Amino acid sequence: MNDTSLPAPEAVTIGLVSISDRASSGVYEDKGLPALKDWLTRALLNPITFEQRLIPDEQAGISTTLVELAQRGCSLILTTGGTGPAPRDVTPETTLAVADKVMPGFGEQMRRISAHFVPTAILSRQVAVIRGQSLIINLPGQPKAIAETLEGLKNADGSALVPGIFAAVPYCIDLIGGPYLETVDSVCKAFRPKSAIRHQR
């Protein structure tokens, strides 16, 4: 039973950016934005305002979009697409160029998760950075890989095999002055030190 004396979860604004030449020009339907929105809606108890953008693989446009979303108060900005080694893949370079701080652990863990499925995981160049009070994370391009990266891998009994990166996101946002994100434990349980837990639902 929920404790009705607890404050309602804080509202959060999240930026979602799908980076694809072909999807942005209408050659095929974008699947990145719906996948991100679906997962976050299931994973968070917080009321969410989504700022969604579908843009081509152009460094100037990506940079402008990331800066704009940070200025609009997006505590979390998730990108999908443009992180491989192909000439048009420029998302990581652009993300690093707008960074105040680099958070290398996110990229390391994303590649660790993907390596359970494909040896080409080592070709992924996802990065995560902080700009002001925004955490920006580059995610894979495929909906299945997006969910696996955020949620992590589980054993047959449901226990964690490899933690997903989202488990660390709420505490990171605490530390940069953002809203207190509350997760649905059955999807992805947030980890915080005991001293940082405000309340249990």
pLDDT 10s digits, 4-25: 688 999 999 999 999 998 888 8
Burial of 99 (0-12, 13-18, 19+ CB in 10 A): middle
State yes or no: pLDDT of 127 exceeds 80: yes
Domains annotated on the chain, with CATH? 12-196 (3.40.980.10)
What pLDDT, on the 0 to 100 scale, is given for residue 4?
65
Distance (Å) of CA 38 to CA 8, 24, 28, 85, 150: 21, 20, 20, 28, 12
State yes or no: pLDDT of 160 exceeds 90: no
What pLDDT, on the 0 to 100 scale, is given for residue 3?
58
CA atoms of 114 and 152, how far apart (whole Å): 10
Inter-residue contact 64 to 71 (CB < 8 Å): no
Average pLDDT over residues 69-91: 96
Q: Is 130 helix (H, G, I), strand (E, B) or coil?
A: strand
Distance (Å) of CA 192 to CA 33, 48, 153, 173, 174: 28, 21, 20, 11, 9
Give the model confidence (pLDDT) of 32-42 as tens digits: 999 999 999 99
What pLDDT, on the 0 to 100 scale, is given for residue 1?
46
What pLDDT, on the 0 to 100 scale, is given for residue 159?
75
Tokens of 137: 């994370």
Average pLDDT over residues 127-143: 96
What pLDDT, on the 0 to 100 scale, is given for residue 2?
54
Entry pTM: 0.94
Residue 171 or 24, more confident: 171
Count CB atoms within 10 A of the CB of residue 103: 18
